[in-house]
Chain A
Amino acid sequence: MITAMVRKHWMELRGRWLFATAIAVLLGIFIIFEDRHAIFPKHWPMSLCLFAFILVVAFPPRFATTGVTTSIGTRPCHATDPSILFTLSLPLRRRTLLRYRAASGLFAMGTALAVALLVNAVVLESLGSAITPWQVLAYGLWILVLLVPLYFLDTLLSVWFSEATIMQVQAVAMALLVPVLLWMGLLGSTMKIMAVFHNATLVPAALAAGLIAAGLAGTTAWILDRQEY
């Protein structure tokens, strides 16, 4: 049964994984090259923040869903995929479906991010950058810390909304954040962005993200148990 679920999730996610990884790799390389022709490597954190911004918008909704619903495409405003009754007829609890699917999506998202960062680290090194593997790892972990709560937020939202709707809303929300960050003077200064990443330590941030994610996952499970189809 576990093998069948893993196989189903692999089939469900493999195309998304390839697409997301390819986009992240290409985007990273593009940013690195662009920065190199400007004042590289001084501005790299700014580029990497843009990279993170795009990942935040694009990654979690592509990988997150409840397991009761299946990621079947990007049909707008259609939360309940037609295969939902087939899924619910399986002899599994809804929480079990959620657990398997959330773990699979998180694993897929994490590995896509890892591959993208690895490729970008190799490119940076080949360009003679001073960035160390540890910095890349810390950066990757920071992105993961940002992505995990969003991933579980999107899992919760997928109870009601389609993938396309979540992506659109998330992109608009992130775009609306830009003026706020500009107003705060954050986007104008690479040093301030760096400060955001480095002043706070990673471990407390990860713990906070973990708590938020656990809360969202618990809420999703509670709602799924009461949801009617």
Chain B
Amino acid sequence: MSSKQSIIVVHDLRKRLGSIEAVAGLDFSVPAGSICGFLGRNGAGKTTTIKMLLGMMRPDSGEGSIFGELIEDEAANVRIRRRTGFVSEVKEFYPFMTVRHTIEFCRAFYPQWQMEWEKRCLKDYQLPLEQKTSKLSKGMRSKLALLLALSRGAELLVLDEPTDGLDPVAAEIFLEHAVAQAAEGRTVFFSSHQLHEVEQVCDRVCLIDQGRAVLETDLDEAKTRIRRASFTFPSTVPVALFEGIGLGRLKIRGRSASLLINGEGESFAARAQAAGATNIEFTPVNLKEIFLETVGGEK
């Protein structure tokens, strides 16, 4: 965990939705001022976690806090929402309002509303002010949702799939905005399936799978520590040697094997060498590889 103060802290959070344990003992924290990517496959529990953080759902057990306030307490959660900009997975507004009405409506709830951000977003996203929100395309609704979240003067941005429906230009603009917001001291916590976007702007990632955090780390640190180790053995690969080691699953191709390792390179190389491995190589990996190996397949 970072030495910085944490804005979001979640400990052993659990939530069952029907017969499925959507969130199953989740632990993570988000340091102040960071841009944290919240990653996982569909159904991993990202949206359920975000809904619990913002009081739309209640945890079955465990604890969560934002700004030191407990998320389960309704009054505290109102205070949390006052300081938080939110883009939900479903980007829908009141269909009887125009874009202008929606902005004016939202502005009334946030005294610290930032007109310069509103103007910047209106210009960058080219939103049609007089159009009814029900007539907006999916991408335009995403842009409006971003405008409302970014202009709020919030200390924390919780964004659930913020680039959903955005064209590449708008997505790039959003990434610039996210970085600019972080530079102004805000914390950005966003879920996305666009790993290249996360890699581009995030300084921290939290990967969850089946409701549990499987990796929570600073991105630069992850890239330094996590590497692909490849080995060649004189005969068959001694599978037992790899049991319980590394991230994800062991890939075997004939006499060669490869595995993602998390910072245990030298000691593991020594063991592999002792087992007869030759041609030991460590290669850097990108976030997509880390994601695919960590949550992407059978273990």
Contact = CB atoms under 8 A, between A and B. Distances in A.
Contacts of A91: 78-79, 81-82, 109-110
A93 B94 CA distance: 19
B88 A8 contact: no
A4 B81 CA distance: 17
Interface in A36-76: 70, 72-73
Nearest to B17: A228
A86 B88 contact: yes
B55 A88 contact: yes
A82 interface: yes
A11 B94 contact: yes
A70 B88 contact: no
Nearest to A72: B95
Interface in A6-34: 7-8, 11-12, 15
The interface centre, meaning the residue of A3, A15, A83, A229 with most chain B CB atoms within 10 A of its CB, is: A83
A82 B108 contact: no
Contacts of B94: 8, 11-12, 70, 72, 83, 86
Contact of A3 (B56, B82, B108): B108
Contacts of A86: 88, 92-94
Contact of B109 (A4, A11, A82): A4
Contacts of A92: 78, 109
Contact of A4 (B55, B58, B108): B108
A176 interface: no
A85 B54 CA distance: 10
A89 interface: yes
A222 B97 CA distance: 30
Contacts of B57: 228-229
The interface centre, meaning the residue of A70, A82, A94 with most chain B CB atoms within 10 A of its CB, is: A82
Nearest to B81: A91
Interface size class of A (residues with CB under 8 A): 20 to 34
B51 interface: yes
Nearest to A80: B90
A90 interface: yes
Contacts of A73: 95
A130 interface: no
A108 B50 CA distance: 36
A1 interface: yes
Given A11-B94, A72-B95, A229-B57, A93 B75 contact: yes
A88 B75 contact: no
Nearest to B95: A72
Nearest to A71: B96
B109 A1 contact: yes
B90 A12 contact: no
A125 interface: no
A7 B51 contact: no
Contacts of A229: 51, 56-57
A70 B95 CA distance: 10
A90 B95 CA distance: 17
B83 to A, nearest CB: 8
Interface of A: 1, 3-4, 7-8, 11-12, 15, 70, 72-73, 81-83, 85-86, 88-94, 225, 228-229
